[in-house]
Amino acid sequence: MPILEARGIVRTYGQVVALDGCDFDVEAGEVTALIGDNGAGKSTLIKILAGTEPGEGGTVTFLGEEVHIASPHQARALGIETVYQDLALCPHLDPVNNLFLGREIKRRGLLGALGFMNRKAMREQSIEAFNDLGATVRTLTEPVGTMSGGQKQSIAVARASAWASKIIFLDEPTAALGVVQTHNVLELIKRVRDKGIGVVLISHSMPEVLAVSDNIQVMRRGRRVATYEAAKTNIEELVATMTGKFDEGAAA
């Protein structure tokens, strides 16, 4: 049984139909690529499932029970984390404080009540989280704003992995990275998957999708039109399905 099943999701913006009865599934311990041309509805679907935007129809089932994810807080309570393209990192804070942003460990007793943080515990857990994923973080004491795009992406993925117990959504995680940095992030994604977490990858890079994904779900005009096993498809077939040049019935 999938961790998450979305059925018939609808979302409109005035006269524009972003999602038109869209279905989607996420399996534990697999990388699910969500692909489609610009305007296919990928990011809108993820925002609804992450609780940052309301749906207007359809159902979402999580671990076999129907749920209504009305906020990011509710999504996090279910074990769902999201890494958006802007990463949502605070550039003036170091990696440790970014990892624990909003989840700071307070010191015991009166000092904790006064807002003092247990920086030693946070640092130790940060080192463990980065090492667990093999994340290459240059330093734990400098602001992340001084770091490379690849290191920032590693920190964002590690933060999501540290708090997610079920699903991580990744929206174009390699869009602004070079070859080496992209390779490192893809390796991070595989490590997250190997922890038993369901990873949803939105990407326009078909080679990266095929390299890291277990299954690929294709969207067009606000609907899922096909699902493929990554090992049994190719770039030509995926592009043809995205653009409507392939017979949908043969791919579903």
pLDDT tens for 108-139 read 888 878 888 899 999 999 998 888 777 778 88
Position 176 scores a pLDDT of: 74
Q: Return mean pLDDT, the chain.
A: 90
pLDDT band of 185, cuts 50, 70, 90: confident
By DSSP bridging, strand 57-62 and strand 65-67 are antiparallel
Other C-beta atoms lying within 10 Å of the C-beta of residue 224: 23
Measuring CA to CA, which residue among 175, 178, 229 is closest to residue 32?
Answer: 229
- Sequence letter at residue 102: G
pLDDT band of 249, cuts 50, 70, 90: very low
Position 247 scores a pLDDT of: 54
pLDDT band of 250, cuts 50, 70, 90: very low
Flag whether pLDDT at 206 surpasses 50. Answer: yes
Give the helix, strand, coil percentages of the chain, each rounded to 5.
40, 25, 35
Position 173 scores a pLDDT of: 85
Q: Domains along the chain?
A: 4-251 (3.40.50.300)
Mean pLDDT of 153-175: 88
